[in-house]
Amino acid sequence: MAKRLGAWLTDRWPFVPVWKAVMVEDIPGGSSYFYSLGSAVLFVFIIQAVTGVFQVFYYVPTVDHAYDSINYLRTQIPLGWLIHGLHYWGAQAMVVLAAIHLSQVFIWGAHKKPREFTWLLGVSNLLLILAMSFTGAALPWDVKGFWATEVGTSIAGTVPLIGDFIKRLLRGAEDMGQLALDRMFATHILVVPLLLAGSVLIHLVAFRRKHAAGPWSERKRRTTTGVFWPDQLLKDVILSCVVLVVLLVLCAWSPAPTTGPADASDLSVQPKPEWNFLFLYQFIKAFKGPFEPVGTVLFPLAAVVFLFLVPFLTRTQERDPLRRPLGMGLFLAAWAAIVALTVSGALSHPGQGPSAASSKVAPAGGPAPKAGGQAGASEGSSLFQSMGCGDCHKVNGRGGAVGPDLSNEGSAGRGESWLAEQIKSPKSHNPRSIMPAFGSRLTAAEIQSLAAYLSELKGSRAGTTAEEKPAVKAPGSAGQVKPAAPKAAEEAAPSPGAPAKGSSQAMSQGVALFKSAGCIGCHKVNGPGGNVGPDLSEEGGKRTVEWLAQQIKDPKSHNSQSIMPAFGSKLEPAQIEALAGYLFSLKQAPEAGPAAKPSAPEEAKKEASEAEGAEVPPQPNVPQAEKTPGADALPETGPAAMMIGDAGHGAILFQQTCVRCHGPEGTDKVPNPGSDDGTVPPLNPIDPDLKSADPAVFASNIDLFIQHGSVPDGPKPALRMLPFGDSNTLTQQAISNLEAYVLSLNHVDRTRIMHPGIPPKIFVLATVFCFVVAGWILWLLVPIKRKTSPPPRP
Amino acid sequence: MNGEEPRPPADAAVTRRHVLASAIGVLSGLIALVLGLPSVVTLVGRRAPKSKAGRFMKVAALAALPDGQPVNLKYSEMVEKAYIRAPEMRDIWALKTADSKVTVYSPICPHLGCRYGWNAEAREFMCPCHGSVWTADGKVVAGPAPRPLDTLPTKIIDGDLYVEWELFEVGTRAKIVM
């Protein structure tokens, strides 16, 4: 029956010729695992195709669901973690194996005539694999993929003349959004895979047409011959098994990282490309200003062209690597450069490059910056003042004490690039830094000027004053605070949030003090201001005037961990009262009353007691809509509750946003006078009622508080939880990261696989066991037969 | 493994080739299993957890419902499905009797899941797909419908009608909550 079916089929389709074309092939010099590398790439390509197709059954290519859909597959669908993990690690393996395969071909000299065309297709395949890697990274729409795509497409935009056109072609729009994701999706699942499949097929046909090159030794090629079927194919399959097992082990023991949902507005993110583009990322850093396209476009393009031309650059047929010193030298140098750049790219934090080495050495003992020594230094000096740097940093005896004294910063050997990076993104040097990132508020040139100015600060800390050295004019600081002069009051109205005109003298004084005492250096009021401390635009709606006055006088009395300087000794009581009165007048909506009419401290006190006495909202402040009597309506969690955030990034956000009230790592019992508990509820350990072993439930429980805020029970709680979600103070992505962090503090992993089907490690161990047993049995059989029966010549 | 060795007897060569071919077959089969099985398991997925009971939603004021006349009422409910939480429009058939009692029917035909309608002239519910017919009180009159119309849990609170949405298996004689 089987024979008849076989005959029927072979009569209708050329199975035998096709089988022969694919399988019957001499291997000069005998089969080798080195020759299996190409097959290993093909095998991983098949894994990618299979897992890719099955991911598409769940993946949704929209900016609002892409991230959640892929996490749903990973955490909620049995064995979904495996499909996703294999695809993630397969992508990495494909790049590695393709690069090794290409290197092997080069070392063996197998790219030379008559196999140039096979080489050309191989290089095309490598480029297409990199294109898959690039377009695939965008699809989860997570932090890493988003920024990789943002920067990658922007790099394409730096191509002279046609850059904008290419960028538009890649993104489908001006910015990174739905259209860009659509493009990446279509390119990743249709365009590039089809091109790659075609290119691989032509590559294989070309390979068969000119046959395997075999070893470089002429003698070995002549004296020994193996066959593709079954000798080489068995080696190919064995290597494929090894690759599969390695991928499985990676899936179980090192799952694909969760970098959190993409959030373009999150300034604390440090975008870095995937490891396989790190060498380019690091390389690009060497080219600045107008030369940037040299690094981003010209050099990579030249390298690709060079790679294509490799087989045509020499006419010699010599294949022995030891007799090709130039070619092998260049090859090794290229690999050394790629490895070195990748490693340094992995280790570097943006801008931290050759800082000390490149820093300009100023004449020793020069106490003040050289006038005009740096083009931007004087501009930097004025920026130092206007940006409020001096509110936190001392220079030559003047300035705040929040940050380190910078009087001698130029002698610290850090260099301008380090300083520029510190200004741009202080967390890149120290994740716990409380300094605000100025990367979004200053242009690159301004940052450079500031860095230039700081690198020239080599004055002695004692005995020099700003007055003596005009170039280091110290900015307004706490030490300079005086009762605000009328002129200052006019200048100081910091924002639209300032009370209406015609406010009392105390109010004007408060407004002026807010700027002159340096508050604005750390706090925002309706726009302008720093972000070291909380935004005070609506502060009046949250605190009493007494609480505010106390906070200005001695912040540690409310929170022992507060980093805010105490102004009790720097301001007079009347000034503190004026400042507190001003802050109390900052309320949100005009209809709320107090915000519309500026309230003097005495009036404010009255309003505060009235307002706070009246409200006893539930905890959390869940909106009342949709609640049905006698029924449990779904709690109104925000979108963040459904997102799987990144706990690592949440820790950074926690430090910026939550630590003041909840203490470091949520452990502190920060005093909250006026509340029944007397302290802010700790988050670590959290209230057991909120905790759940199911990360989604746990996240939902705390999401209610973060979204809507809450007011603690008690007569007059001084602190209340702000509605971070409702007020858009935090994005939903940021909230999801914070939730993941709070979960991690309570030993619950937000990324936990809820429905693994088979637990990852057990699945992998069972699979490895099957492979080992099968391999062992085959091993016992094959060598015995080998001794008695060597293969026939085909 | 290499051609330097003398050509072996044909039967030995065949045996060796068979062993190698079997090895290729066994290992390829294992690979196919390791990749194929999880793919199928992933595709089958997981049965969605049963929706939380007790979510009664306000649908209408009782006084606004006509006596003895089924009306189709629509309301929106926030629903969580897989990874999406979004409002979903529901519709139900409500029939108020003279004694102010209300029966609410799921709008889904218990035969194969179509949406049936009310024929006011015939005073019957009719399904457009396969012609099932029910009386106003939900009893099967004609057609392939295996059971009466499915009723939904209701509550009357302060003169308002509240309904709890449920889904039932279709095509079965018994009313089974999904």
How confident is the model over A69-111, as pLDDT tens digits? 999 999 999 999 999 999 999 999 999 999 999 999 999 999 9
Are the C-beta atoms of B53 and B79 separated by less than 8 Å? no
Are the C-beta atoms of A16 and A220 separated by less than 8 Å? no
Where is mean pLDDT largest: A434-448, A457-471, A518-532? A434-448
Rounded to an integer, what distance in angstroms lies between the CA atom of residue B109 and that of residue B171?
9
Question: Residue A789 and residue B12: Cβ atoms within 8 Å?
Answer: yes
- Among A226, A642, A757, select the one facing B85 at the smallest CB separation: A642
For residue A544, give the nearest of A498, A621, A616, A603 by alpha carbon: A603
Section A28-48 average pLDDT: 96
Are the C-beta atoms of A48 and A92 separated by less than 8 Å? no
> pLDDT tens for residues B75-107?
998 888 889 988 899 999 999 988 889 999 999
Rounded to an integer, what distance in angstroms lies between the CA atom of residue A642 and that of residue A365?
59
**A449 in B contact zone (CB under 8 Å):** no
The more confident residue out of A582 and A70 is A70
The more confident residue out of A22 and A560 is A22
Question: CB contacts < 8 Å between A and B, how many?
Answer: 171
- What's the count of helices (H) and strands (E) in chain B, helices before strands? 1, 10
- All residues of chain B having their beta carbon less than 8 Å from the beta carbon of residue A76 are 46, 82
> pLDDT tens for residues A251-270?
999 999 989 999 988 877 77
Are the C-beta atoms of B175 and B152 separated by less than 8 Å? no
Show the tokens assigned to A253.
């023991």
Partners of B96 in beta bridges? B67, B102
**Going edge to edge, which strands form the sheet with B160-164?**
B56-61, B160-164, B154-157
Section A38-44 average pLDDT: 97
- Among B39, B43, B82, select the one facing A72 at the smallest CB separation: B82
> pLDDT tens for residues A5-33?
989 999 999 999 999 989 999 999 999 99
- Among A230, A631, A642, select the one facing B83 at the smallest CB separation: A642
**Predicted confidence (pLDDT) at residue A387 exceeds the cutoff of 70:** no
- Residue A334 pLDDT grade (very low, low, confident, very high; cuts 50, 70, 90): very high
Question: Residue A226 and residue B80: Cβ atoms within 8 Å?
Answer: no
pLDDT given for residue A463 in this prediction: 35
pLDDT given for residue B9 in this prediction: 54
**Predicted confidence (pLDDT) at residue A55 exceeds the cutoff of 80:** yes
pLDDT given for residue A549 in this prediction: 87
pLDDT given for residue B52 in this prediction: 57
**A785 in B contact zone (CB under 8 Å):** yes
CB atoms within 10 A of CB A44: 26
Question: Residue A73 and residue B78: Cβ atoms within 8 Å?
Answer: no
Are the C-beta atoms of A51 and A77 separated by less than 8 Å? no
Question: Residue A791 and residue B17: Cβ atoms within 8 Å?
Answer: yes
Q: In chain A, pLDDT over 70 holds for what percent of residues?
A: 79
Section A719-727 average pLDDT: 88
pLDDT given for residue A376 in this prediction: 59
Question: Residue A73 and residue B2: Cβ atoms within 8 Å?
Answer: no
**Predicted confidence (pLDDT) at residue A530 exceeds the cutoff of 90:** no
Sign of CA dihedral A618, A619, A622, A627: negative
Rounded to an integer, what distance in angstroms lies between the CA atom of residue A600 and that of residue B8?
108
Are the C-beta atoms of A352 and A426 separated by less than 8 Å? no
> pLDDT tens for residues B26-85?
999 999 999 999 999 999 998 877 655 558 999 999 999 999 899 999 999 888 888 998
Residue with tokens 């071919």: B21
**Predicted confidence (pLDDT) at residue A437 exceeds the cutoff of 80:** no
Mark which residues 733-762 of A lie under 8 Å from B by CB: 755, 757
Rounded to an integer, what distance in angstroms lies between the CA atom of residue A533 and that of residue A335?
47
- All residues of chain A having their beta carbon less than 8 Å from the beta carbon of residue B27 are 237-238, 240-241, 771, 774-775, 778
Which of B15, B19, B26, B80 should we substitute to test contact with A (largest number of A Cβ atoms within 10 Å)?
B19
How many Å lie between the alpha carbon of B127 and the closest alpha carbon of chain A?
Answer: 32
> pLDDT tens for residues B145-162?
999 999 999 999 999 999
Question: Residue A231 and residue B7: Cβ atoms within 8 Å?
Answer: no
The more confident residue out of A488 and A451 is A451
**Predicted confidence (pLDDT) at residue A298 exceeds the cutoff of 60:** yes
Q: In chain A, pLDDT over 90 holds for what percent of residues?
A: 44
- All residues of chain B having their beta carbon less than 8 Å from the beta carbon of residue A68 are 83-84
The more confident residue out of A365 and A104 is A104
pLDDT given for residue A409 in this prediction: 80
Show the tokens assigned to A469.
């050295």
Mark which residues 613-642 of A lie under 8 Å from B by CB: 626, 628-634, 637, 639, 642
CB atoms within 10 A of CB B161: 25
pLDDT given for residue A339 in this prediction: 96
pLDDT given for residue A545 in this prediction: 79
Q: Is the peptide bond before A565 cis (omega within 30 degrees of 0)?
A: no
Which of A628, A697, A784 should we substitute to test contact with B (largest number of B Cβ atoms within 10 Å)?
A628
The helix (run of H) or strand (run of E) holding residue B95 is strand B84-96
The more confident residue out of A151 and A370 is A151
- All residues of chain B having their beta carbon less than 8 Å from the beta carbon of residue A240 are 27, 31
- All residues of chain A having their beta carbon less than 8 Å from the beta carbon of residue B3 are 30, 224-226, 791, 793
- Among A224-233, A442-451, A491-500, A781-790, the range scoring the smallest mean pLDDT is A491-500
Residue with tokens 């009762």: A483
- Among A127-136, A354-363, A446-455, A614-623, the range scoring the smallest mean pLDDT is A354-363
- Among B7, B23, B43, select the one facing A782 at the smallest CB separation: B23
**Predicted confidence (pLDDT) at residue A595 exceeds the cutoff of 70:** no
- All residues of chain A having their beta carbon less than 8 Å from the beta carbon of residue B162 are 628, 630-631
Question: Residue A632 and residue B12: Cβ atoms within 8 Å?
Answer: no
Are the C-beta atoms of A358 and A437 separated by less than 8 Å? no
Where is mean pLDDT largest: A345-354, A510-519, A522-531, B103-112? B103-112
- Residue A521 pLDDT grade (very low, low, confident, very high; cuts 50, 70, 90): low
- Among A173-182, A433-442, A592-601, A778-787, the range scoring the smallest mean pLDDT is A592-601
Question: Residue B23 and residue A234: Cβ atoms within 8 Å?
Answer: yes
Query: What does the mean pLDDT of chain A come to?
Result: 80
pLDDT given for residue A486 in this prediction: 32
pLDDT given for residue A722 in this prediction: 87
Rounded to an integer, what distance in angstroms lies between the CA atom of residue B111 and that of residue A483?
83
Residue with tokens 């060598």: A783
- Among A632, A778, A788, select the one facing B23 at the smallest CB separation: A778
The more confident residue out of B125 and A592 is B125
**Predicted confidence (pLDDT) at residue B121 exceeds the cutoff of 50:** yes
Rounded to an integer, what distance in angstroms lies between the CA atom of residue A668 and that of residue A556?
13
- Residue A362 pLDDT grade (very low, low, confident, very high; cuts 50, 70, 90): very low
> pLDDT tens for residues A200-218?
999 999 999 998 899 998 8
Helices A377-386 + A444-455 axis angle, to 10: 100
**Predicted confidence (pLDDT) at residue A744 exceeds the cutoff of 90:** yes
How many Å lie between the alpha carbon of B23 and the closest alpha carbon of chain A?
Answer: 6
Show the tokens assigned to A60.
């949704």
Looking at the predicted complex, does its ipTM rise above 0.85?
Answer: yes
pLDDT given for residue A268 in this prediction: 75
How many Å lie between the alpha carbon of B163 and the closest alpha carbon of chain A?
Answer: 11
**Predicted confidence (pLDDT) at residue A180 exceeds the cutoff of 80:** yes
pLDDT given for residue A550 in this prediction: 86
Where is mean pLDDT largest: A443-452, A619-628, A629-638, A772-781? A772-781
- Among A446-455, A589-598, A684-693, the range scoring the smallest mean pLDDT is A589-598
Section A517-538 average pLDDT: 73
Where is mean pLDDT largest: A330-339, A393-402, A404-413? A330-339
Rounded to an integer, what distance in angstroms lies between the CA atom of residue A54 and that of residue A48?
10
pLDDT given for residue A750 in this prediction: 95
The more confident residue out of A550 and A375 is A550
pLDDT given for residue A434 in this prediction: 67
How many Å lie between the alpha carbon of A511 and the closest alpha carbon of chain B?
Answer: 45
> pLDDT tens for residues A702-713?
999 999 988 888
Partners of B164 in beta bridges? B56
- Among A245-249, A453-457, A694-698, B126-130, the range scoring the smallest mean pLDDT is A453-457
- Residue A228 pLDDT grade (very low, low, confident, very high; cuts 50, 70, 90): very high
Show the tokens assigned to B70.
């089924």
